[in-house]
Amino acid sequence: MSKKQKKMLIRIIAAGVIWAIGFAVEHIFPTDERFSLLGFIHLGIFTAAYLVIGWDILWKAIRNISHGQVFDENFLMCIASIGAMVIGEYDEGGAVMILYQIGELFQSVAVGKSRRSIAEMVDINPEYANVERDGEVSEVSPEDVAAGETIVIRPGERIPLDGTIISGSSELNTAALTGESALRAVAEGDEVISGCINTNGMLKVKVSRPYSDSTVARILELVENSTENKAKPENFITKFAKVYTPIVVFAAIALAIIPGLIETSMNGFTDFTNWTGEGGWVYRALSFLVVSCPCALVISVPLSYFGGIGGASKYGIMIKGANYLEELSRARTFVFDKTGTLTKGSFAVTGITPEGMPENELLGICAAAETYSTHPIAQSIIAEAKKRELTTTASDAEEIAGYGVKAVVDGRTAIVGNHRLMQRENIEAPSVDTPGTVVHCAVDGKYAGYIVISDEIKPGSPKALAALKELCGAKTVMLTGDRKAAADAIAKTTGIDEYHAELLPDGKVSKVEELYKAKPENSSLVFVGDGMNDAPALARADVGIAMGAMGSDAAIEAADIVLMNDNIESLPTAVRISKKTHAIVMQNIVFAIGVKVLIMLLTAVGIGNMWIAVFGDVGVAVLAILNATRAMRIK
């Protein structure tokens, strides 16, 4: 419990003790004379209990009224409780406020628990960085370290900034980011990201970007903004409360005046006993106000979504807002990028077929031309050339998006890329059916051979796709710029329903558009990519999900949901969480409205009383909040 919650608990206990004393005095020394000494003693004791527990609610109501915000739960509670005391129901007036504050405390504890579940996941903000300057290491704020500087991370310390290891080796605990406890081995030359914990060896890291652009800063910003994007049920409840509250206030006024006025006129305006006292129309109206308080809905619906976001964070699933969680629960079409999503994205050269030159010469030319590319395929060719200790230089490199690269290598013009690039340059190249990605090469306008690059399927891909179909009958589609033969092999192994190969970047967006138009009515389309070159497709989908935020600068910015652990099996988990959260929200809405309407009707016809109204309001709120917290506990 926080200090504020402990203070509230003390106030509740104090008010409860005073109220109990008043209740005992009222029954030991009863009186029907409200304006007698004993009557004033009763009033004084219950008023003391009321002010101890309710002064802040009174202040909030007055402050909101002064700002033009009249109709809210504070106003309802004040009118109902003060009204009960005015008509002589002192004990019930005090009980209304005490039980309401118990409900508020319960809500505060539940929200705090949900916030802590997210805070634990993102407890990654580094307090300091050990920066090396002029041969000395000093402790400074991470914000004061510039890109290019060297920092030292000792065993047990949290990595404060993103960068590349220049000396040392260790194992990193990435659980705060990925939700997984497995350690990640790193050594010289490896990239590390902020937020991970260095478990053993000493590391020296060259900072690659300032703190404001670091992984930690972006994740913290994402979490802080996650409550701003509200789901449709949240927006509905907000609008509903604004309309509903004034309606029930005027309905209560009508209930207090009209039936009593009719009955009194029938008695010739000689008997006014039907207005006040327990069972009277004013009493019924006040009870009506108590049970009509919409706090069960206003509290439990946002809390359910907040709990769902917190529950997802435990599994390394970062969700930018309740609206995306809600959209995911309606997903029926899942569109996947291939490389880095369904496959590992760790390419390796598995075949070299030269024409008119030695194998190593072809590899060296391709590696030199690809030097300026960061694409995983290019990096695999460069890695193979380094392994064979081949050294070739290139200049005037020009990347041709969706095709390949053109460069001058040792004075010769080399064109390296896919089959479409060869066709575009009017170079005759063979059609290769070998599974894997084929990179063709031409030198000075003459075909020089091809290299085959293979990528492994992620072990969890088939299982994840099968789980999606079981969860929501999902249609799965794969989009790739790779050859049809490679795409077909991946589709058969993973169980993809449909695939489209040899797509240019804008072709992926066009296919997403087509699939979006063809999706089932009232359903959502999800695009899952690596977040590096899929931003347009991620943005076009109802929900964009980025894989591999551990290695992607663009993932957190481009996607609505980020799977921090690069594990595609987290996708069905995210869908399960979204569906359970949606179910909890619907349960709370139906339950709260149903019970409240029933008790409001019973109260209006005189069957219910204020005690039933109080327990109906607070009880419904407590049960709804308890139900909402289930969203945090999803296996």
The pair of structure tokens assigned to 377 is 């395929």
Burial class of residue 538, CB neighbours in 10 A (0-12, 13-18, 19+):
buried
CA distance 635 to 573: 8
Helix (H, G, I), strand (E, B) or coil at 416: strand
Catalytic residue list contains 534: no
Kindly provide the residue ranges of all beta strands, DSSP E only, lying in 200-304, ordered along the sequence. 203-207
Whether the CA torsion 345, 347, 353, 357 is positive or negative: it is positive
* Inter-residue contact 189 to 153 (CB < 8 Å): no
599 phi-psi bin (left φ>0, alpha ψ -120 to 50, beta other):
alpha
CA distance 479 to 499: 6
Nearest to 529 by CA among 317, 316, 336, 320: 336
* Inter-residue contact 556 to 562 (CB < 8 Å): yes
Question: What is the phi/psi pair of residue 407, to 5°?
Answer: -155, 165
CA distance 22 to 34: 14
The catalytic position among 72, 91, 162, 337 is 337
Torsion of CA 500, 502, 507, 511, to 10 degrees: 0
The pair of structure tokens assigned to 47 is 């008023």
Residue whose pair of structure tokens reads 């289930």 in the numeric block: 630
266: CB partners within 8 A, 6+ apart: none
State the DSSP H helix or E strand holding residue 425, giving kind and residue range, or none if neither: none
CA distance 25 to 42: 7
CA distance 596 to 289: 11
For 449-470, b/e burial (b = at least 16 CB within 10 A) is bbbbbbbeebebbbebbebbee
Compute how many other C-beta atoms are within 10 angstroms of the C-beta atom of residue 397: 18
Burial class of residue 360, CB neighbours in 10 A (0-12, 13-18, 19+):
middle
Catalytic (active-site) positions: 337
